[in-house]
Amino acid sequence: MRMWIKMDSVPFQDLSSLVLDKRLLRGMEKMALFKHTGPLEVFHSTLLKLFPKRQAFSFQGMRERCHLAILEHSENIVKRKQATTKTGQARFSQVFCKRSKQWVLKKIFTPHTTQFIDTLILKVMDRRRNPNIVFKVPTSSLALPQPALPPNIAPVPKPPKEAATSSFQSRF
């Protein structure tokens, strides 16, 4: 191993004091555990919009709704750019940060779009008019078989109702 900095030099001492600073190490320890979950929460919100928890869907319906949620998330969160003025400058808004007690700039993004829905409708209409059109679909999405779900999730079979009523005891 080649030493690029000598241990007894002033730059090495400065670097060591910087890297081994206790405040920095405590901050790094907390930063290593921090994961920003904002985009994931936005995706889950999109999922709930497309298939609410209080409604049941078939496996195929759930899969297709999940695909729609992925398309919407990709278009509106992943690919979304910062809004610009007519002159091409990036747009910001000023907000007051209660924590730092200072005014800070916050990026303004382009509005949400539903362009992917228009594209999907056009492709469906083209396919309807001409069934010979072949769209390239990833084979991985077609390879998902419907899972074999048991009729009952209980670990023991359901007893006959007569046996259950005969062994029923009330707390009162």
Please list the alpha-helical segments (H only) found in 4-158.
10-19, 22-33, 38-50, 59-73, 115-129, 139-142
Instruction: Assess if residue 41 is contained within a domain.
Output: yes
pLDDT tier at 40 (50, 70, 90 boundaries)? confident
Residues 24 and 39 in one domain: yes
Residues 64 and 95 in one domain: no
Residues 49 and 97 in one domain: no
Q: Given a cut of 70, is residue 140 above it in pLDDT?
A: no
The total number of structural domains in the chain stands at 2
Residues 74 and 122 in one domain: no
The predicted-structure confidence for 20-29, as pLDDT tens digits, reads as follows 888 888 887 7
Query: What's the whole-number mean pLDDT along residues 19-41?
Result: 80
Which domain range does residue 46 map to?
A: 9-79
As a whole number of angstroms, the distance between CA 29 and CA 7 comes to: 26
Instruction: Assess if residue 68 is contained within a domain.
Output: yes
Q: Given a cut of 60, is residue 68 above it in pLDDT?
A: yes
Which DSSP letter does residue 20 get? Answer: T
Supply the pLDDT for residue 48.
92
Instruction: Assess if residue 136 is contained within a domain.
Output: no
The predicted-structure confidence for 78-94, as pLDDT tens digits, reads as follows 778 889 999 989 999 99
Supply the pLDDT for residue 8.
85
Query: What's the whole-number mean pLDDT along residues 107-120?
Result: 86
Residues 15 and 75 in one domain: yes
Instruction: Assess if residue 163 is contained within a domain.
Output: no
Kindly state the percentage of the chain with pLDDT values over 90.
9
